[in-house]
């Protein structure tokens, strides 16, 4: 999986939305031109944070300068009116930056739930087989 970085200023922070009955969630974040950009035209970029990564967006606010680490995802959908293709910029990490581009503090990345450790497992050499 190839990851990319995009640095800019937070323009829009979406609400977390749930889809379907399986607990799938996503949250959108729009990041615009960086503060030192020479581009005279606006260049807002929409990033989608999915599942447990939705909580990363909680640590940023409108106007923050951020660096978003993301991947490019694509999918095909065969519908009644033909085939459509979708492209998504999926956010994996956000760093809130100072004006000079150094990170103020990395937004903590949520860790997947770990399996509970059985402290009464006994001696590993005492196996029943």
Instruction: State how far the Cα of 108 lies from the Cα of 102, in Å rounded to an integer.
Output: 16
Whether 14 shows a pLDDT value over 70: the answer reads yes
Q: Is residue 119 part of a domain?
A: no
pLDDT tens for 25-53 read 999 999 999 887 788 888 999 999 999 99
Q: Is residue 82 part of a domain?
A: yes
Those residues whose C-beta lies under 8 Å from the C-beta of residue 97, and which sit 6 or more positions away, are 7, 64, 65, 66, 67, 103, 104
Domain hosting 19: range is 4-106
Q: How confident is the model at residue 99 (pLDDT cuts 50, 70, 90)?
A: low
Residue 81 has phi, psi (to 5 degrees) of -105, 15
CATH number at residue 70: 2.40.50.140
Q: pTM of the full predicted structure?
A: 0.74
Q: How confident is the model at residue 128 (pLDDT cuts 50, 70, 90)?
A: very low
């Amino acid at each position: 999986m190839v990851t990319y970085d995009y640095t800019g200023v937070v323009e829009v922070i979406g609400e977390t939305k749930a889809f379907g009955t399986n607990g799938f969630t996503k949250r959108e974040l729009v990041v615009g031109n960086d503060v030192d950009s020479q581009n005279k035209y606006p260049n807002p970029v929409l990033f989608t944070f999915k599942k447990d990564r939705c909580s990363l967006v909680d640590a940023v606010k409108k106007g923050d300068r951020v660096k978003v680490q993301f991947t490019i995802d694509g999918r095909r959908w065969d519908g009644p009116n033909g085939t459509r293709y979708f492209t998504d910029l999926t956010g994996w990490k956000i760093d809130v930056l100072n004006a000079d581009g150094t990170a103020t503090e990395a937004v903590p990345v949520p860790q997947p739930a770990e399996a509970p450790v059985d402290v009464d497992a006994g001696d590993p050499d005492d196996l029943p087989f």
